[in-house]
Structure 1
Amino acid sequence: MIERGMIPDKAAFISILSACEKPEALELGRSIHAKALETMTVLDTGLSNALLTMYGRCGSIGSAENVFKHIREKSTTSWSALISFHAQNGNVDHAFELFQRMYIDDVKTDIARFVGVLSTCIVESKLGIGRLIHWLLIDSAVEVASVLGNALVSMYGKCRSVTDAKWVFDSLSKIDIVAWTSMLAAYAQHGDSTAVVNLYYEMQSKGVKPDKFVYSLAVAACNTPEMLYDGKNVHACINQSNIEVDLVLANALINMYGKCGSVVSARQVFDNMSERDLFSFNSMIVTHAQFSQGNEALQTFQQMQVEGIEPDRVSYLGVLSASSTLSDLNIGKMFHAMVSNGGFKRDDAVATAFLNMYSKCGSVQCAWRIFQSLLERGIVAWTSIITALADHGHTRRALKLFDLMVDEGIDLNELSFVSVLSACSRAGLIDQALVFFQKTNRANKAAFRSSHFNCMLDLVTRSGRLGEAETFLSVSPYQPGVVDWMTLLSASKICNDVQRGRRAAYYLMELDEDCTAAYLLLANAYAFADASL
């Protein structure tokens, strides 16, 4: 047109600009802008809005801002477009500044549309902005209709202000499926699974038909064994509806049943799927592994390979955890070779899983080599190697390694501590265990639990050092329980220490006056002492 000497009019320019609303057409859009400035003395609001929209959709926010500044009579569309583009690009503060300018300039005719734009991008740190927008709506006497109310519920949900979201939700004159979904999502984002399930039931009681997204939220909320009944109820409702159980929903059901502890139900969903992806297999492998079903996890892993799905690190971590329960070194070595060929050789999480597997399979040498190769050694790696050394008779090495772990500032966990103490007990290293306990207690007092003191109590009573056992009970920061005093009483009977047994029985009966076992043990102790005279 231009090559033939024809000058485009406003309508032609707007039409051409609409075809340039994608990043790869930005330079063409700029050339059309330049041609428009050449042929027209003044760009009216309509053409300026077309330019603004073109630049915004091409991602050139600076150019869009420049066009906006030169619009003499800014329309609602002008404000809306620029606010929208800033919001979509994460410039929430600047979008809100424009919103305030618009409000001050008394451009109120379409205020609701801007709230929807801003609500989609407000994050938790911008809750104050969201509340101010809500206040401006109230101040402007704008009616909170369904679309606007849903946007506000969604905004408060994203900001994790569930109380505000529920207040808006309850104030809606008409609650549609979008409002229900927004409120369910708000509870889900807040991590309140019980509230999600309760609202789902309330929604059903009011005759509102859930859609696929609502079912997905309800399924995801059922994530503990106590919620298995609710999960099965939701699943039954899905089956009774006309909603297709697609790949995403089926995966959610597998994950739900796994977390609720129903491996059989998870497997039924998995086996009935017409299509399975990596997430499907990973969820099933991890579920089998969590319940020590090593063979089933391995079979699922093999099925995944048969179906041509490439394993990822989650797959390997799951199957390694499962193979550890089998204590089959040959299987472990087979997977080690597969992982090395799969590019996960330098993955510390996978390497730690191998360390744990070799430890449980009794191959301390292989476990030690992997431990030495780790670039970053977390508590799981330290615990696995210390436990492996302790369990296989390398008690002194385990003690030294534990000291090194403490020196490196690694937080203790119960398993590593108890493993060392148990190893000391088996090896008869009582004095070393006492020194280890006292030193570790001073360095990590906050990390100690009642189980640590119980372990020491068991260790010293088994060795017949009842005086130290009684001292442990008196200095323990935890209130000794029935089991603790029963341990001392039993040891006193075995060692013919009647007086100490009487004291243990006294404290035991204070805790449980109906403890017949205490009376019997004490009576037997007296009888044994008399017989020894």
Structure 2
Amino acid sequence: MMLEKTKAKTPNILFNNPIEFIDPVIFRTQPKNSSTSLPRIITPSSNYSDPRPSFLNLDSVTYTRLFQFSTKTGFLNHGKLAHAHMVKTNHRPCVFLLNNLLYMYCKCDELDTARKLLDRMPKRNVVSYNSLISGYTKMGSFDNVMSLFNEGRVAGLKLDKFTYAGALSVCGQTGEIEVGKLIHGLIVVGGLASQIFLTNALIDMYSKCGNVDRARLLFENFDQLDGVSWNSMISGYVQSGAIKEMLSLLVKMHQDGLSLTTYTLGSVLKACSAKLDNSEPYGKMLHSCIVKLGFDLDFVVCTALLDMYAKTGELNDAVQIFKIVPNRNVVMYNAMISALLLDEAISSQHANEAFNLLRKMQMEGMKPSKFTFASMLKACNAVEAFEYGKQIQGQICKNNLQEDEFIGSALIDLYSSFGSIEDGRRCFNLLPKLDIVSWTSMIVGYVQNGKFESAFTLFYELLAAGSKPDEFLISSMLSACADLAAARSGEQIQGFAIKNGIEKFTMVQNSQICMYAKSGDIDSANLTFKQIESPDVVSWSVMICSHAQHGCARQALELFESMEDCGITPNHITFIGVLTACSHGGLVKEGLRYLERMKKDYGMTCSVKHCTCVVDLLGRAGQLVDAENFILTSDFKDNPVMWRALLSACRIYKDSTIAKRIADRVIELEPHAAASYVLLYNTYTDAGIDLPATEIRELMKDRGVKKEPGLSWIEVGSKVHTFVVGDKSHPMNELIYARLEAMLAKIKTNEGLFSNTESGQKDNKLVNNHSEKLAVTFGIISLPKSAPVRVMKNLRVCSDCHTTMKLFSKLERREIILRDPFRFHHFKEGDCSCRDYW
């Protein structure tokens, strides 16, 4: 008896009260005024006095109703408790009960648990497989869908229409038309070809796979078509862009007496907004029919009409549609806001109108959706309304939407664009679920703000998390490698792209060209360009600009002519590359001719970058007065970049008189920019005028203007090595300085070897340990003799280092490639590709 009492005090049960499983967990959490019918629980009578706690035994019907209730309400925890109770009481479920449990897990997106449950089911039927197939299809896990489909066939189950429809849906999503044809054959063999449900699924599959003719053949040969059949066929024509066929089918549908639905009209209007086959007139004719049919005030149809007019460039008509609809809802407001922000270059006027619409929504008592806030953040980003963006974020937090992936990505983009990368990272860290868009936004933000190391770290975290980068993210990582000039890292990213089958995307290949070109490897950039099947305007422009920066002027202009022959219309970036090539090649007449062609043949207006190229072009040719007159007659005469380009030309031609006048002007426009002071100082120094040069240094000191420290870096192996002036922190420090001094001494004592190269530099300049000299010396020590030495620098190369690099290239008989912010210098056999003008 004593033993029995002890057991009674410490029972090994899941719940202390037999009623606790039902009452506290389910009844107390039921939403108020809920119409959901809960299972009726039969409890022991009130005079029940058994002192030993025990489980309440439930039957299969009760368990089934509990699982159905959890499925309907989404209260997964309640269903899990019921499942645990069923296991604990050793209840032996039937297939019907297990299918309800499986369906609950699938509907609540617990697919891993559902799969384990299916594997442990002693007996399964087609309903079991259909539940999991439906869940995997919803989550986009197409491989698992096809695996289950094949598993069901191997198990000898008689597959039904839902099983086949799930497999056909996957084929349509992935474009696997051959697999779809095999499934079509199985449907015919299985005697299910006469079912309209599967016919509609086949029409949809063939349409999505691009074989709209086969879909139409099925459509024409089936006798019992329903509204879904017509809509599927119309959607197929919409996807293929065959607007005439689509409208013809729409007319036939109306003639056959079938009622046009808002879904049908919405699909047709979507096709008319794509600007295919002169679609705009069709859209307007369809609008007339919609008015006659009385759909002109329907929210769905009006939203589609508004979207159609906005995408075809008829924004005023879109506004009129918006105004005539009474009692507008949030979706309608969102459509109008989206229409205003449709252009890639959002104007301030349209952004302000969008802001006013948000204000009006809130005044009318509407609650903005996450799409509304994301659009507002996009507008703030476009018109640089950072403070307003912060206010939008406040409203986002007030509505508890800050953890939404869509909103989070927009916030990261906003903060990254305004340089507040740490705030962007905080938004990133708040997201409970990270998708590829969120990862990409944060990594791109790091790249945009020059935080390349952080970008690579986050990229590796993404890979470790099992996420699969898309072509946009790979393109961004290649851009980071380009800015770092880290060709080896870029090659690893390229290998990853090849392994994952996204290397053929034009976006990826364009970034790859840029990566190789900015790393000094123009030959690999050329090879990548030749591998692009259909190069677009970006591809051509990147190649033209790359050749221009490398001093290959003639090749850049030949590429431009080939681009025109291929029928590709150049853009503003293309002409920047062309004008830069003319400037670096000393082709004054050609450059001015291309400038006129840009304005007359292509109707483009000159930007400050184009005009700066022209100033550099005239300055390189020594036409300093003409360059100054060009600036004074341009629309950018108050832009310091233009004057600084002319000041650089004055330094090359040692014209200290004009340089003083130009420097006064540029310092007036930008009094705290160190570049202007340094250029003027170098002009006086190169001309041998020491006193004014000293005065410039004093002026900088008085005004608190500090020159940015020089920084050079070189990639050796898988590591980027960085150097500053007089750097002593490198592990190979002693070896680097010893080799540098030896090379400088050899140049000094063997000047006869360099008769074709300037060598009249002062000793104190030759022994000056500038960062590029240290980086080049390290490259000479570390790299094979056959490998070129590629060094990057954040500032313009000084004249002493430029001359020294020419001497090093001849002394060591190897190519040295040095990139500064303005161009590439290819040093070979004592000469430089820039012809001593940079």
TM-score bucket of the superposed structures, by smaller chain: 0.5 to 0.7
Change (3 A) 1:216 1:92: farther
Q: Which residue of 2 aligns with 1:433?
A: 587
Which residues in structure 2 correspond to 1:92-103 (within 5 Å)? 92-99=247-254, 102=257
Alignment equivalent of 1:118, drawn from 265, 270, 279: 265
Amino acid aligned to 1:423: H
Once residues 364 and 143 of structure 1 are traced to their aligned partners in structure 2, the CA distance between those partners, rounded to angstroms, is 59
What's the CA shift for 1:208?
A: 1.2
2:289 is equivalent to residue 133 of structure 1: yes
Change (3 A) 1:190 1:156: farther
Alignment equivalent of 1:155, drawn from 305, 314, 326: 305
2:557 is equivalent to residue 403 of structure 1: yes
Q: Which residue of 2 aligns with 1:274?
A: 432
Change (3 A) 1:352 1:443: same
Change (3 A) 1:344 1:164: closer
Change (3 A) 1:436 1:269: same
Which structure shows the higher helix fraction? 1
Once residues 460 and 31 of structure 1 are traced to their aligned partners in structure 2, the CA distance between those partners, rounded to angstroms, is 78
2:390 is equivalent to residue 229 of structure 1: no
> Residues 55-84 of structure 1: CA distance to partner in whole angstroms, max 9, x if unpaired?
6576453256x457xxxxxxxxx8x67765
TM-score by length of 1: 0.62
Change (3 A) 1:263 1:201: farther
More displaced stretch, 303-312 vs 324-333: 324-333
Q: Which residue of 2 aligns with 1:174?
A: 327
What's the CA shift for 1:87?
A: 4.3
What's the CA shift for 1:268?
A: 1.7
Equivalent position SS for 2:268: coil
What's the CA shift for 1:199?
A: 1.7
Once residues 186 and 194 of structure 1 are traced to their aligned partners in structure 2, the CA distance between those partners, rounded to angstroms, is 13
Q: Which residue of 1 aligns with 2:360?
A: 202
Q: Which residue of 2 aligns with 1:6?
A: none
Once residues 326 and 129 of structure 1 are traced to their aligned partners in structure 2, the CA distance between those partners, rounded to angstroms, is 55
What's the CA shift for 1:481?
A: 4.2
Matched residues, percent identical?
A: 18
Change (3 A) 1:155 1:440: closer
Once residues 250 and 187 of structure 1 are traced to their aligned partners in structure 2, the CA distance between those partners, rounded to angstroms, is 22
Quick check: 1:84–1:95 contact (8 Å CA) kept in 2? no
2:466 is equivalent to residue 308 of structure 1: yes
Once residues 468 and 434 of structure 1 are traced to their aligned partners in structure 2, the CA distance between those partners, rounded to angstroms, is 12
> Residues 16-56 of structure 1: CA distance to partner in whole angstroms, max 9, x if unpaired?
x9999968778856668xxxxxxxxxxxxxxxxxx7x8865
Quick check: 1:293–1:322 contact (8 Å CA) kept in 2? no
Equivalent position SS for 1:209: coil
Quick check: 1:278–1:309 contact (8 Å CA) kept in 2? yes
What's the CA shift for 1:351?
A: 4.2
Alignment equivalent of 1:62, drawn from 216, 220, 243: 220
What's the CA shift for 1:86?
A: 5.3
Q: Which residue of 2 aligns with 1:325?
A: 483
Quick check: 1:158–1:186 contact (8 Å CA) kept in 2? no
2:546 is equivalent to residue 385 of structure 1: yes
Quick check: 2:409–2:438 contact (8 Å CA) kept in 1? yes
2:415 is equivalent to residue 264 of structure 1: no
Once residues 162 and 524 of structure 2 are traced to their aligned partners in structure 1, the CA distance between those partners, rounded to angstroms, is 64
Once residues 404 and 423 of structure 1 are traced to their aligned partners in structure 2, the CA distance between those partners, rounded to angstroms, is 15
Q: Which residue of 1 aligns with 2:792?
A: none
Q: Which residue of 1 aligns with 2:751?
A: none
Once residues 496 and 31 of structure 1 are traced to their aligned partners in structure 2, the CA distance between those partners, rounded to angstroms, is 91
2:452 is equivalent to residue 294 of structure 1: yes
Change (3 A) 1:352 1:214: closer
Q: Which has the higher relative contact order, 1 or 2, with Cα contacts under 8 A spaced 6 or more apart?
A: 1
What's the CA shift for 1:130?
A: 3.3
Amino acid aligned to 2:453: N
Quick check: 1:180–1:203 contact (8 Å CA) kept in 2? yes
> Residues 357-384 of structure 1: CA distance to partner in whole angstroms, max 9, x if unpaired?
3433344565566566666663234234
Equivalent position SS for 1:408: helix
What's the CA shift for 1:404?
A: 1.8
Quick check: 1:127–1:156 contact (8 Å CA) kept in 2? no
What's the CA shift for 1:322?
A: 1.7
More displaced stretch, 17-26 vs 197-206: 17-26
What's the CA shift for 1:318?
A: 0.6
TM-score by length of 2: 0.42
Amino acid aligned to 1:323: C
Quick check: 2:575–2:598 contact (8 Å CA) kept in 1? no
What's the CA shift for 1:386?
A: 1.2
Change (3 A) 1:408 1:177: closer
Quick check: 2:307–2:339 contact (8 Å CA) kept in 1? yes
Coordinate RMSD, CA, aligned: 4.9
Q: Which residue of 1 aligns with 2:34?
A: none
Change (3 A) 1:186 1:443: closer
Amino acid aligned to 1:121: V
Q: Which residue of 2 aligns with 1:417?
A: 578
Change (3 A) 1:257 1:225: farther
Equivalent position SS for 1:292: coil
Amino acid aligned to 2:328: I
> Residues 248-275 of structure 1: CA distance to partner in whole angstroms, max 9, x if unpaired?
4433433454456643333222122222
Aligned residues: 425
